[in-house]
Amino acid sequence: MMRLTEHWMDSQTELTLSQADLLKGLLEEAEAVVIGIGAGMSAATGFTYIGKRFTDAFPDFIEKYRFFDMLQASLFHFEDAEEYWAFQSRFSLLNFFDQPVGRAYVDLRKIMKDKNYHVITTNADNAFYVADFDMEKVFHIQGEYGLLQCSERCHQETYQDEKLMRQMVKEQSDMKVPKDLVPYCPKCGAMLEINKRNEEKGMVEDYHFHEQKALYEQFLKDNENRKILFLEIGVGHTTPQFIKHPFQQMTKQNEKALFVTMNQKEYFIPHEIRSQTVKIDEDIEEVLHKVQKKIGEENVLN
């Protein structure tokens, strides 16, 4: 059993609550909630990058390149532009334009309905949008699969062309799209590619990206000395610089802050914030659903 720091719940008694009740109680006590969402959240609600969802959509690419997962495959250096787009157009329909609603996202939206919160996510799928989130509260720090950028980063603008994506899926054969469908940068003529970050070139960060970033930073500033809950959900260790490390750092700087990590895998927690850390290791989708149901039932009673 665990104890919490003096600022949260009844710190004198050992907590014997279920994980859903614990999370619900902490969310009720928090004056502000910063939610960091990683790939584990999407995977928990069915948007997995491995298994049947991958093998059904990309049998030809798996046979040719022996890919193990869709995310790894999406970063591969394909042999030419036609092959790149044969893969990426299918990927963007599956993970963006045709992405269904995920229950965990809907539950999270309902849970947070009347609360003071903001979201930052490293996911580039369309899960928040289809779950009907207020997009003013969501910061996509790693781009979006529905957007295109100049592969040479010659200018900071992105493009969206759903019709072209659908046409490329429809007209491809033998893992190649027709040459004349490959999109090029209107400014420099380099190929356009999916809006994402890579190590050498970074990412195109357009006007909308900077707007989202400013709103997120404003939220942090407005709430920095309050009783703030940093809730990370399904955040692994691929890019800790965006969510995990800043959340831990901000927790360390504010003795009233609490760091709640929802993950079925065990990650290292720095010693300085252990007394301010709560681990929730049950199934993400189930815990969120239970919290949402409990809140819903209370609302009916009141």
Q: Which residues bind Zn ion (CB under 5 A)?
A: 150, 152, 154, 185, 187-188, 190
CB nearer to Zn ion: pick between 154 and 182: 154
Which residue type does 17 have?
Answer: L
CB 276, min distance to Zn ion, A: 46
CB of 91 to Zn ion, least distance (A): 22
Closest approach, Cβ 84 to Zn ion, in A, equals: 16
Measured CA to CA, the distance from residue 210 to residue 197 in angstroms comes to 15
Q: Pick the closer one to Zn ion by CB: 187 or 201.
A: 187
- In the complex, least distance from residue 106 CB atom to Zn ion, rounded to whole angstroms: 38
User: In the complex with Zn ion, which residue's Cβ is closer, 188 or 214?
Assistant: 188
Give Cβ neighbours of residue 246 (< 8 Å, ≥ 6 apart). Answer: none
- Asked if 234 and 228 touch (Cβ cutoff 8 Å), the reply is no
Smaller CB distance to Zn ion: residue 190 or 214?
190
* 37: number of Cβ within 10 Å: 26
Give the nearest distance from C-beta 196 to Zn ion in angstroms. 16
Q: For Zn ion, give the closer residue by CB, 81 or 108.
A: 81
Taken as a whole, the chain contains a residue count of 302
Strand partners, 193: 149
228-233, strands of its sheet edge to edge: 138-140, 117-121, 32-37, 228-233, 258-262, 277-280
Alpha-carbon gap, residue 95 to 164, rounded angstroms: 16
